[in-house]
């Protein structure tokens, strides 16, 4: 059974564990409530006495932390009534925060104050109501069960009846016992269920707190994408300032050597070395383009896509209707999708034409790459695109491939183009 409300509607309610769970929940709220209110009253008392000193003020500001503790205990106890448990409303804190920062963060959370309020309610009203109802029914039930034993020795007055023999006691247990159990079980089940709902409402996460966690997750994924972007830029810079410059220096030296050497085997070898150094430079340029394309950084998506299109062995029509610049991670994602797609078209599609369209639809960037090739492209086969899907996912974007056998193949990328909300 998922909750007491479902159980109450069931015909098997009285023989299930739910009446006993309700008893346990209500009765356990009495000591827990009492301890809670005692601690709170003591804490208020101490901080009032100490309030002329700075420590008293500090204690008052730390009260929400008591709420955090109450929340932990009560979310654990409420599992008696709500076996699924209640999720914590507290935000997940970044791992790098110090203990002091963590306490400060928790102290300022609305959820902590709410839990403190719940603690006051628990220690006064909830514990009292629970004590009266559950205590009374438990006592009456206990006395009823013990009625034959008591009645044997003494006359026992139960409401309008007076029992003065063990026979009458047994008769009373058999007739009144089940009736009392049935009636109180339903009443206590309703009461315990209501209290559990109250705990859930005050100790569980609210809509905006769930939203906030989603937003925090999204931010951390964006941070990750940003970190990759920064790292790529760093690698590119490193290659540019280091290896590439050295290779350029090498080609210059070889070029000068060629001028001085007489025709012959030595010169032939130097010319060969020069050609090889240039090939290495060209390879390195190609690699750098795959890591962090310069045109994209300097001039934006359209210029960079035109450049990739020019490099493609088949004619590519590029039609882009975009504002000057988009956020960097989005430009980069779109660029690599287009670059990968054009590479795939050239390799697999047997196409004679390809079109790249880009436009803004509302607040989304849409890019479509269409070819007139043979179709039948398998999205799982292109490992290059799989990585790009992950990257797009972090930006909240999607990638759809439609490639019926016989073509045409159409790859469509959509991505929100504002990152700040």
Partner 1 sequence: MLLREGLASILDRAGHEVRDSVGDADTLLAVVRKNPPDVVITDVRMPPGHSDEGLRAAAAIRADFPAMGILVLSQYVADAYLSSLLESTSGGIGYLLKDRVGHVTEFLASLDRVADGGTVVDPEVVRQLLARRRDDGPLAALTPRELEVLALMAEGRVNSSIAEQLVVSEAAVRKHVGNIFAKLQLEEGHDRRVSAVLTYLRR
Q: Which residues bind partner 1 (CB under 8 A)?
A: 237, 240, 244-246, 248-249, 251-256, 258-259, 274, 277-278, 281-282, 285, 288-289, 294-295, 297-299, 303-304, 306-307, 309-311, 315
* Residue 321: CB minimum distance to partner 1, A: 18
Contact yes or no for 10/16 (Cβ under 8 A): yes
Contact yes or no for 147/163 (Cβ under 8 A): yes
- What does the alpha-carbon distance between residue 138 and residue 21 come to, in Å, rounded to a whole number? 13
CB nearer to partner 1: give 163 or 296: 296
CB nearer to partner 1: give 246 or 325: 246
CB nearer to partner 1: give 108 or 246: 246
Contact yes or no for 397/416 (Cβ under 8 A): yes
* Residue 314: CB minimum distance to partner 1, A: 10
CB nearer to partner 1: give 177 or 255: 255
* Residue 312: CB minimum distance to partner 1, A: 9
Contact yes or no for 25/192 (Cβ under 8 A): yes
* Residue 350: CB minimum distance to partner 1, A: 18
Q: What share of the chain is helix, strand, coil (3-state, %, to 5)?
A: 70, 10, 20
CB nearer to partner 1: give 167 or 249: 249
Q: Identify the burial level of 158 via C-beta atoms within 10 angstroms of its C-beta, where 0-12 means exposed, 13-18 middle and 19 or more buried.
A: middle
Q: Identify the burial level of 302 via C-beta atoms within 10 angstroms of its C-beta, where 0-12 means exposed, 13-18 middle and 19 or more buried.
A: buried
CB nearer to partner 1: give 316 or 395: 316
CB nearer to partner 1: give 255 or 343: 255
- What does the alpha-carbon distance between residue 413 and residue 421 come to, in Å, rounded to a whole number? 20
CB nearer to partner 1: give 250 or 374: 250
> What is the separation of C-alpha 290 from the centre of its chain, rounded to a whole number of angstroms?
32
- For the stretch 239-242, contacts whose Cβ atoms lie closer than 8 Å and that sit 24 or more positions apart, written own/partner, are 239/284, 239/287, 239/288, 239/291, 240/288
- What does the alpha-carbon distance between residue 311 and residue 88 come to, in Å, rounded to a whole number? 54
* Residue 339: CB minimum distance to partner 1, A: 14
The tokens of 134 are what?
Answer: 């559950």
- Other CB atoms within 10 Å distance of the CB of residue 408: 18
- What does the alpha-carbon distance between residue 71 and residue 77 come to, in Å, rounded to a whole number? 10
* Residue 334: CB minimum distance to partner 1, A: 17
CB nearer to partner 1: give 207 or 310: 310
* Residue 274: CB minimum distance to partner 1, A: 6
| DSSP notation for 286-314 | HHHHHHS-HHHHHH-HHHHHHHHHHHSSS
- What does the alpha-carbon distance between residue 131 and residue 136 come to, in Å, rounded to a whole number? 8
* Residue 86: CB minimum distance to partner 1, A: 53
* Residue 275: CB minimum distance to partner 1, A: 10
CB nearer to partner 1: give 1 or 257: 257
């Amino acid at each position: 059974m998922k909750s007491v409300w479902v159980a109450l509607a069931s015909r098997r309610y009285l023989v299930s564990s739910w009446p006993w769970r309700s008893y346990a929940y209500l009765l356990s709220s009495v000591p827990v409530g009492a301890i809670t209110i005692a601690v709170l009253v003591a804490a208020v008392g101490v901080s009032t006495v100490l309030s002329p000193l700075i420590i008293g003020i500090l204690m008052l500001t730390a009260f929400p932390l008591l709420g955090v503790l109450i929340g932990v205990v009560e979310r654990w106890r409420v599992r008696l009534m709500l076996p699924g448990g209640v999720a914590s409303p507290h935000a997940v804190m970044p791992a790098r925060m110090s203990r002091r920062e963590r306490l400060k963060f928790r102290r300022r959370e609305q959820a902590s104050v709410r839990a403190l309020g719940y603690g006051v309610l628990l220690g006064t009203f909830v514990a009292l109501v629970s004590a009266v109802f559950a205590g009374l029914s438990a006592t009456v039930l206990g006395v009823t069960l013990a009625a034959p034993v008591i009645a044997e020795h003494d006359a026992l007055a139960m409401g309008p009846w007076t029992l003065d023999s063990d026979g009458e006691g047994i008769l009373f247990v058999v007739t009144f016992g089940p009736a009392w159990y049935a009636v109180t079980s339903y009443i206590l089940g309703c009461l315990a269920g209501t209290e559990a709902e109250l705990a859930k409402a005050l100790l569980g996460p609210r809509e905006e707190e769930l939203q906030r966690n989603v937003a925090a997750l999204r931010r951390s994924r964006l941070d990750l994408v940003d970190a990759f972007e920064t790292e790529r830029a760093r690698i590119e810079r490193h290659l540019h300032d280091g290896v590439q410059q050295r290779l350029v220096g090498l080609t210059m030296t070889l070029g000068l050597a060629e001028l001085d050497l007489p025709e012959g085997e030595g010169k032939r070898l130097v010319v060969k070395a020069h050609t090889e150094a240039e090939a290495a430079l060209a390879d390195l340029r190609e690699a750098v383009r795959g890591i962090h394309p310069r045109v994209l950084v300097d001039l934006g998506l359209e210029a960079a896509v035109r450049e990739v299109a020019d490099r493609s062995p088949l004619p590519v029509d590029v039609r882009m209707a975009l504002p000057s610049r988009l956020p960097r991670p989005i430009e980069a994602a779109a660029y690599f999708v287009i670059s990968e797609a054009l590479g795939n078209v050239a390799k697999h599609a047997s196409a004679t034409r390809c079109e790249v369209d880009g436009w803004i639809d509302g607040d989304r960037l849409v890019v479509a790459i269409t070819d007139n090739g043979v179709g039948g492209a398998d999205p799982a086969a292109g490992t290059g695109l799989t990585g790009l899907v992950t990257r797009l996912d972090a930006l909240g974007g999607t990638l759809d491939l439609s490639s019926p056998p016989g073509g045409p193949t159409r790859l469509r990328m959509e991505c929100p183009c504002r990152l700040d909300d």
